[in-house]
Amino acid sequence: MTFEPAAIPQTINVLVVDDEAFICSTISRFLQAEGYASVSVHSAEQALERLQIEQFQLLVSDIMMPGKSGIELLGITKQLYPNMAVIMATGVDSRETAIRALELGAYGYLIKPFAKNELIINVVNALERRRLTMASQEYEQRLEQEVLDRTADVHRREEEIALRLVTAAEYRDDETGHHIRRIGLFSAELARGLSCPDQLAADLRVAAPMHDIGKIGISDTILLKPGRLTVEEFEVVKQHTVIGAGILSDSEIPLIQLARDIALYHHERWDGTGYPSGLRGEDIPLAARIVAIADVYDALVFDRVYRPAFSEKDSLAIMRRGKATHFDPQILQCFLDVLPAFREIRRCIEQEK
């Protein structure tokens, strides 16, 4: 990465603040002789008003003034104008005041009376420190953005690889790819609705589509059977959770660990009557509880080999009946709250077909 220093304005504007007009005039004369533009005001209150209408690169302020003190002005300006350098000037030689000013962010400290050279040296040092600080901030921001961009690119690649592999593993009809995409998008939307961390929502988008990867180990004769499964056949189908977890086990990658939990537990039920482990309530991993709702919604509103799709009205009625039995009631309510986003996801993917 090429390092570029922060841009420096051709004209340096300096705001001089002192309740004594003679001192303001003297400081301004010193500054203008060195090519700086200066504006003088006589109180902290006037300085704050001027800062609202004009940009300054440097503030030179007295400390002991009527009204707000220079120390108070320093604290306010560092909050409101963090890129403005500040030099404090005072007639009182106080070590404690000097330390306090520097702790609050002053770049220089002058004891009156001071010579022109002393002022200009402080000004040059303060402006150079300001330039270097801004350049460092800009560099860090660019670096952070580059890391974010690269992370997003890696995540996009992970998502594409996961979707392609899962599609290949489950390839039985043209709808499979759309189904696994919807599950990822639905799950991420639910996570955001629940105020989960952004990273979990992003990971769910990639991990949730792997929820049924274990079906690669189930015979097509059973999976594609057009009618109701026998008890024995359903017991075979239930093994896809364990098979999927086995495929995804022993990984050190957090995303795959998340996908493993989803594959194993997304058929558990809130009341403990699900499979394969009969977990109940919050013993079921959160990601699996989220995917359970996304998966059931998708299963209801789209055709399956053994039945046509339900209307959304009937699908929602079925899901509401599963509150606190099949589904986590909080997540189910969140699902109902973000339902418009689910519909928009369905619409967008339908348009891609």
Domain positions in the chain are 13-141, 170-352
Backbone phi, then psi, for 260, in 5-degree steps? -65, -45
How far apart are the C-alpha atoms of 333 and 339, rounded to whole Å?
10
| Structure tokens, 109 | 């400290």
Give pLDDT, residue 323: 96
Q: Give whole-number Cα distances, 192 to 54, 185, 326, 338, 340, in Å.
A: 41, 11, 21, 9, 14
Q: Give whole-number Cα distances, 330 to 270, 271, 282, 312, in Å.
A: 11, 14, 11, 20
Give pLDDT, residue 169: 61
Give pLDDT, residue 14: 96
Buried b / exposed e over 170-208, threshold 16 CB at 10 Å, is beeeeebbbbbbbbbbbbbbbbbbbebeeebbbbbbbbb
How far apart are the C-alpha atoms of 299 and 213, rounded to whole Å?
16
How far apart are the C-alpha atoms of 135 and 131, rounded to whole Å?
6
Give pLDDT, residue 246: 94
**CATH 3.40.50.300 is held by the domain 170-352:** no
Third-level CATH fold of 13-141: Rossmann fold (3.40.50)
Enumerate long-range contacts of 123-126, CB under 8 Å, 24 or more apart: 123/14, 123/31, 123/34, 123/36, 123/58, 123/60, 123/87, 126/58, 126/85, 126/86, 126/87
Exposed (0-12), middle (13-18) or buried (19+): which is 209, by Cβ within 10 Å? buried
DSSP label at 230? P
What does each of the 353 residues of the chain score in pLDDT, given as a tens digit? 443 434 444 689 999 999 999 999 999 999 999 999 999 999 999 999 999 999 999 999 999 999 999 999 999 999 999 999 999 998 878 888 889 898 889 999 999 999 999 999 999 999 999 999 999 999 999 999 999 888 888 877 777 777 677 766 655 554 567 888 899 999 999 999 999 999 999 999 999 999 999 988 899 899 888 888 999 999 999 999 999 999 999 988 889 999 999 999 999 999 999 999 999 999 999 999 999 999 999 999 998 878 899 999 999 999 999 999 999 999 999 999 999 999 999 999 888 76
